[in-house]
Structure 1
Amino acid sequence: MDDEALDYEAARAELVSVVERLEAGGTTLEDSLALWERGEKLADLCQSKLDGARARLDKATESREA
């Protein structure tokens, strides 16, 4: 599945899983780096989704005030 197709909740759930795996340890350096990179992508995706939601709320609020 394309990352952009993930909704916020799915991306956040996967990010939580990645963090838990990293915190648990026991992975190789390569696996840890891959998990870290995946986590960074997921965090960016989540932030993008939140920014988009904030922009929609701001636009709706502005149109109600106008």
Structure 2
Amino acid sequence: MKVLTDANVGETVKVKNNDAEESLKERLLALGVTNGAHIEVLRKGPKNNLTVYRIRGAMIALRKEESRLIEIV
């Protein structure tokens, strides 16, 4: 199983599943993290704790704990 934190900068991946809990899952869905959505990894922050992604045209920063819950293809 590959998760979003495994993706490298410059890669574009496709969301397979969102395993987050209810409130975080709702937030991610509102941001466009749905099954089949394409996510581009733009840059990683210090210590790789924070990563910036482009999801459906918007730039979104997620913590490692959050992006670890998103399964990708």
- Taking structure 1 as the reference length, the TM-score comes to 0.28
Q: Which has the higher helix share?
A: 1
Which of the pair is proportionally richer in strand?
A: 2
Q: TM-score, normalised by structure 2?
A: 0.26
